[in-house]
A and B are shown apart, each in its own frame.
Chain A
Amino acid sequence: MENALQSTRRYFFSRASATLGIPALASLLPGSMRGATGDAATGGMAGLPHFAAKAKRVIYLFQSGGPSQMDLFDWKPKLAGLRKTELPDSIRRGQRLTGMTATQTNFPVAPTIFEFKQHGQSGAWISNLLPHLSKMADGLTFVKSMHTTAINHDPAVTFFQTGFQLAGRPSIGAWLAYGLGTENKDLPAFVVMVSQGSGNPADQPLYDRLWGSGFLPTKYQGIKFRSIGDPVLHIANPGGIDQTARRGFIDDLNALNRLKLDDYGDPEIATRVAQYEMAFRMQTSVPELTDLSKEPERMFELYGKESRTPGTFAANCLLARRLAERGVRFIQLFHRGWDQHNKLPKALPGQARDIDQPCAALLTDLKERGLLDDTLVVWGGEFGRTVYCQGKLTEDDYGRDHHPRCFTVWMAGGGVKPGVSHGETDDFSYNIANDPVDVHDLHSTILHCLGVDHTKLTFKYQGRHFRLTDIHGNVVKPLLA
């Protein structure tokens, strides 16, 4: 057996350095096999990280649907006096609108109806919809000048996930799993969790491909932890088979497979033996990970009562911390429900409540455990929303359409400078006034925090050396600690 594994290890890593046909999830390799790389902690690319990393992992809190920047973070006091006035042409500049409002006859300015206050020493303006997060203001790094080129959900989320608007390229998590490997022998390097917000229950769907590996080998794809049924597909044994019986099963299976290996000498068989061992370990490690019952009461108080309900954003934040503790490289949460085309004043408070306490709790919790220093937390959606009203503007009601030209993203933790607000928008939160940051810039900055030079994380496919950032991207230095 030891011999078989030895040869598997050699075979595996000789194959893993080639481009395709890799026979195993390296990110899921058992520790005994990973020893052979020299770098015991990873199964990533040679030569990475390119320089000292500030962060070892990322928790990306993706806010799907397009959160309204001027109702949450981008305070525009001058708008109060411009209510119902037509958005000036000098601001709109004939820029393209979505098909939903392009033929609207007028574009009345809809100032936020929510109150803003300054918080902390940094004096960050935050809406009263986010009381818990406001207390963390000095730990946050705001980018007020994010912009994107996509104007609809599907291409826009795809762009944030893969650096390209059309499906087919690897997601950022897959790139990092490929580049940096994993730090945990029993868990995937890239884990995804999804939750449904209260703000728009019929919201935009998500796609498996958003955490896919594109043209990278499948083993780098994100593994989605599910809130319905098994947390990882088929991780649970069927009724009538307990872990002891499963152990016996795998022993029998491996015995037969080893006989085959002796006869055929195909190292792929040894890999399969190892993968069944890994599967068996995951059957223990994953339920242990997702079982929150041993978390102290204090934790549920910290994350809020929703954290007791599996599948909520709050519960996923708590799980994110547990994944971070276990060294998972890229943890991505998707929270749906930010697409407020109409009835924004009614929908947004609940949607903000979904994430407010859990986000603050996650930062606090990571900090208390000393994990925030080497964990980069990113919060943001695929685009922002328009200052002009979509549909009818009334005293207490308005809606906002998609707005790609400016929106807010915040970060915290490993690698970024706390208490900073980078970039500005104009008085209408419609155009960027200074320091624009595009999606490639954000990607290159995230990679930088992890010690990765985004121009050197490449993969050759269809004759071209592809990058997450394509041929673009500049690290946003003022954001860095």
Chain B
Amino acid sequence: MAALAALVSAAPVEFNRDIRPILSDKCFACHGPDNQNRKANLRLDTEAGAKADLGKRAAIVPGDPAKSALVQRITHASKGLRMPPFATGNSLSERETELLTQWIREGAPWQKHWSFMPPVRAAAPQVSNAAWAKSPLDRFVLARLDREGMKPSPEADRRTLIRRVSLDLTGLPPSPEEADAFVADKSPDAYEKVVDRLLRSPRYGERMAIRWLDAARYADTNGYQTDAERFMWRWRDWVIDAFNKNMPFDRFTIEQLAGDLLPNATRDQIIATGFNRNHRGNGEGGSLAEEFIVEYSVDRVETTSTVWMGMTLTCTRCHDHKYDPFTQKDFFSMFAFFNNIPEKGKTFKYGNSPPMIPAPTAAQEESLKEIESELSRAANTYERLHPDRVAAQKDWEAKLDKSARIEWAPHRELLAHYTFDGSADAAGPGGKTLPAAVKEGSADFAPGKHGQSARFDGKRYVDGGNLAPFGFYSKFSLAAWIKPSAKDGAVVTRANEADETAGYGIYLKNGKIQVNLIARWLDDCLRVETVDAVKTGEWTHVAMTYDGTRIADGIKIYVNGEAAKLKYIVDDLNQNFQTKEPLRIGSGGGMRFQGEIDDVRVYNVAISAAEAAVLAEAASVNELAAIPREKRGRPQADKVEWCFLDKFAPAPVRDAWNGLYDWRRKREFFLDSVPTVMVMQERPVKKDTFLLIRGQYDRPGDKVDRAVPKSLPPLPKDAPADRLGLARWLMSPENPLTARVTANRFWQGIFGTGLVKTVEDFGAQGEWPMNPELLDWLAVDFRESGWDVKKLMKTIVTSATYRQSSKSTPALTQKDPDNRLLARGPRVRLAPEMVRDQALLMAGLLVEKTGGPSVKPYQPAGLWKELAGGTDYQRDRGENLYRRGMYTYWKRAVPPPGMMTFDSAGREACVVRENRTNTPMQALALMNDETYLEAARKLAERMIREGGNSPESRLARGFEIATARQPNERESRVLASSFQRNLDRFQTDPAAAAQLLKQGESEPDKSIAPVTLAAYSTVASLILNLDETVTKE
């Protein structure tokens, strides 16, 4: 810090750089924008406030420090009167006091906060060595160095350079051959060719996407309590694809914030809006929906404002900002853009929560197209046969033998059919008998609706055994004829027998038909009920269907074939409701049936309304066929026609009918199997938004409208006041923040530190940019290029500044330890995922495949179990062990230790600042983690295979694979002695060698003697642990 202060002191006092940070840090908390807590009616965050006449005195009298109350108070002899108050723990340093005084003496010139003024492209400054600059960018850097009397470092050698730029643009090092080719390429544009090749590599999109995932708090679990799985990887793949296609950053922004609102939005544009559904979702039992629904929108505001505006609006959730000109009203006006989605505060505990869409991959889209064309072919075939079909049916009806009673009911996906004609057993698929037992009494059959029915006395019930294990995502239907003699009873269930306990079932409750899907009563279940009661003592047909959507709306109840009006009693299911109870007829959920039940059908599908109506049609096919065609009701006509098509139609007609059905089913199955992704959507009727007093969900204050913060340029007059309007406003040339914030974040990705170190805070408390003209030049250049991200990256990595050697000297380290002035190239430890990705690549293990579901590579045993109980981490096998780190399954409760140890963002909330620590935990991981031990063994095999015949050349090969250069003589000596010592050791102890080779799933190369391989593995491990290997230099 001291060094930094020294760096800035070289210039004259400048308000934004020197004064505002002091006022902000030491004074604004009591004399700032916050109206509620302002002391002494003095406001120092505005020029008017600071220079206002406060009755014969003013805090600041320009040009006259002695008369300025501010100076009097900060230099007051009495500790009790000196500002800032002692109790706040804040005090001014001598230097700060001096700066304030000097500034007032110089006339106290005021400036608007720098980041609120639009960036302007300054003319490239005059510099000491114009020939050095390859881009205007370099002149800004050199001008700064000139001011400090410093010189840039020489250009890095080609091997260092190609390794640096390969890591920066693709996250992976070059192969030795790529390095050799670059060294050998004498053409003037050799370096540019490398850069262009890297920017075209699909690895580039992966490298760029992962930092965006950190910002977007992307993860594979919901993040609260049980922390169960969710599926957002289709959004993740969209991001990779967008970077690879070099989607302009404005489109990239607009599609993620408001793709759903674009005219004729494509599926991809809607998938993009998953960005703002990546926040955590709480499905914890007992959690209060109204509390968490607020948190989701708060998260969206915080993430969006941090990522695009570099402004932390978090403080303004509870009160006006103490440092920046944002009010609590601004916060809730922004909140109003994001709270109008049809979501629930209590999410599903397992899986994605609405709103969500099916999001087939490109390959799946292809398969779907095929299925759909088959389907339309089947439909055509069926339609073509229409005249034949009608004629044949007429013919068949005319010839029907009226005496033989024909019964027919829909039987596709029929799992069990209980006729109760003298037996409790059911008929299963293919005519199989499914044995059932009568429990707590003996069987009692009586003449029923169809043949005989089963009689129930409030005690006895039918136990169908382990049938129909429907759950959370199942689609199913239950149907029966009932003739109740009491108003309460269970019809068909698979549920515990106590009151209000787990399981599913259709019940009679106070005469109404009730359906329960219960994981835990009251807070984890669905319960719907018909508005009207059925009559006791009469036969009524009842049916229910559930479509697996996990919401009450997914349940239908049909009474006598008609969809019943329903009342949703509880709509709060969020996990599986399967039980180990048997399928029961006449019992379950603490109730028993009294009366008769007949013709029970259990379907493995949600039957259609037409099918439910046919089920309720009691008359036989013969009777219905006797009715003149034009007088048949719809279900009657359907029943006759479907029976004909199913049983009596000529073979081509029947085949066409079945074929059509089969393709429809295939399509449905396929759609059920494609991944979904949670997306943004607007409610049909706009939700009112209220400022929340102290930010508390249960204390609504004044109503607010959607608006952007007052201190920034307004939304254009003709812009819609919705997310689309907001997204376009962020990308408009008038917006002073987005271009700067974004360019700065990309800069951080390359140099390790932003030009503004506080990449998340461009406000008064954030850092003043190290080189404001450079930042503005980059920002304007980026915006004016049409937000071309690849061009921005290219501008940076082809600059002379970037290409400097990263070697330092004691004097340079002393003067600029963090390399903020850029008198040398960046030397930064690799990002968390790169450490592993690179090791896998060097070992030849890396499986390069873009996108797809997340994978579970090696992790220490018992990792999940100890914290979460229940299921432990089940690692994948085969190629999923070797994918790039960005595809590693991210469980929020237990994030991958390999990533966290190397300083990954935690993915709980938006994180944009990159951080590098250097810890013993990292040393332990690199030395002992199975991942790196296996990689070392495979790298050793490569060294032996590719490195010629001498140990020296093999060791050099390993070193070269890791660093893109040959070891020097002293390094070679250390490698050689290390190898020899290990070889000796393993030769005396071959068992140790055998043990060392056991790491990882891959097989050791059997053609290499274990002792030799173990010795090379140890040196390969040494190479993987080298500072140079884990550092971009």
Show the binding face of A for B, using Cβ within 8 Å. 7, 11, 14-15, 17-18, 20-25, 28, 96, 98-104, 151-154, 166-168, 194, 196, 201-209, 212, 217-219, 223, 226-230, 232-242, 245-246, 248-249, 252-253, 255-257, 259-260, 263-269, 271-272, 275-276, 278-279, 282-283, 311, 336, 392, 401-402, 455-456, 458, 460, 462-464
Contacts and interface: CB of A to CB of B under 8 A. Distances in A.
Given A100-B523, A153-B225, A228-B861, A218 B903 contact: yes
Contact of A264 (B807, B977, B986): B807
Contacts of A232: 921, 924
Interface stretch (B173-181, B393-401, B874-882, B1021-1029): B1021-1029
Contacts of A401: 286
Interface residues of B, number: 118
A241 B918 contact: no
Contact of A201 (B827, B869, B919): B869
B286 A152 contact: yes
Main secondary structure of the interface of A (DSSP, over half): loop
13 contacts: A25-B919, A100-B285, A152-B282, A152-B287, A208-B900, A237-B927, A240-B1014, A256-B974, A266-B827, A278-B920, A279-B927, A283-B924, A463-B24
Nearest to A20: B915
A283 B920 CA distance: 10
B973 to A, nearest CB: 9
B923 A275 contact: yes
A226 to B, nearest CB: 6
B1026 A218 contact: no
A56 to B, nearest CB: 23
A268 B286 contact: no
Contacts of A207: 227, 867, 892-894
B924 A206 contact: no
B523 A99 contact: yes
B287 A233 contact: no
Nearest to B828: A268
A480 B629 CA distance: 93
A226 B996 contact: no
B342 interface: no
Contacts of B224: 154
Given A14-B817, A103-B522, A463 B860 contact: no
A219 B917 contact: yes
A402 B286 contact: yes
A402 B908 CA distance: 25
A22 B812 CA distance: 19
A198 B110 CA distance: 66
A270 to B, nearest CB: 10
Given A207-B867, A208-B900, A463-B763, A236 B862 contact: no
Main secondary structure of the interface of B (DSSP, over half): loop
Contacts of B982: 245, 248
B1025 A263 contact: no
Contact of B995 (A239, A257, A282): A239
A103 B521 CA distance: 10
Contacts of B807: 263-265
B795 interface: no
B867 A208 contact: yes
A272 B763 contact: no
- In order of increasing CB-CB distance, the 7 nearest A-B pairs are A463-B765, A228-B862, A240-B996, A239-B995, A98-B286, A205-B868, A279-B923
Interface string B899-942: 01101001011000101111111111101111001000000000
A151 B919 contact: no
Given A265-B808, A401-B286, A238 B89 contact: no
Contacts of B867: 194, 205-208
Interface in B759-800: 760-761, 763-766
Contacts of A15: 817
B496 interface: no
Contacts of B1028: 260
Contacts of A246: 927
A236 B1033 contact: no
B971 A252 contact: no
A249 B865 contact: no
B323 to A, nearest CB: 6
Given A154-B224, A256-B974, A264 B866 contact: no
A208 B221 CA distance: 14
Contacts of A202: 869-870
Interface in B965-996: 968, 970-971, 974-975, 977-978, 981-982, 985-986, 992-996
A80 B818 CA distance: 69
Nearest to B757: A20
B909 A167 contact: yes
Contacts of A98: 285-288, 523
Contacts of B920: 25, 28, 275-276, 278-279, 282
Interface in B810-824: 810, 812-813, 817-818
B379 interface: no
Most buried by B among A167, A204, A232, A241: A241
A276 B923 contact: yes
B869 A336 contact: yes
Nearest to A228: B862
Nearest to B1014: A240
Contacts of B818: 21
A238 B763 contact: no
B1022 A209 contact: no
A168 B909 contact: yes
Nearest to B765: A463
B295 interface: yes
Contacts of B1018: 241, 245, 249
Given A99-B522, A205-B868, A209-B908, A279 B924 contact: yes
B288 A238 contact: no
A456 B322 CA distance: 19
A236 B1 CA distance: 39
B995 A238 contact: yes
A21 B225 contact: no
Contact of B866 (A17, A22, A102, A226): A226
Contacts of B970: 259
Given A99-B285, A218-B915, A204 B225 contact: yes
A123 B818 CA distance: 61
B971 A259 contact: yes
Contacts of A102: 522
A32 B713 CA distance: 56
Nearest to A457: B89
B869 A218 contact: no
A25 B809 CA distance: 25
Contacts of B971: 256, 259
A257 B225 contact: no
A22 B817 CA distance: 12
Contacts of B324: 463
Contacts of B925: 233-234
Contacts of A259: 968, 970-971, 974
B226 interface: yes
Given A228-B861, A238-B933, A206 B289 contact: no
Interface string B276-308: 000010101111110000010000000000000
Contacts of A204: 225
A346 B868 CA distance: 23
A102 B916 CA distance: 47
Given A207-B894, A456-B89, A264 B806 contact: yes
B927 A256 contact: no
B560 interface: no
Given A207-B892, A240-B997, A256-B971, 17 more contacts: A20-B757, A22-B917, A25-B919, A98-B285, A99-B523, A103-B522, A206-B893, A207-B867, A208-B893, A208-B900, A219-B919, A233-B924, A248-B981, A249-B927, A249-B1022, A268-B829, A401-B286
A267 B522 contact: no
Contact of B1026 (A25, A151, A209, A257): A257
Contacts of A23: 916-918
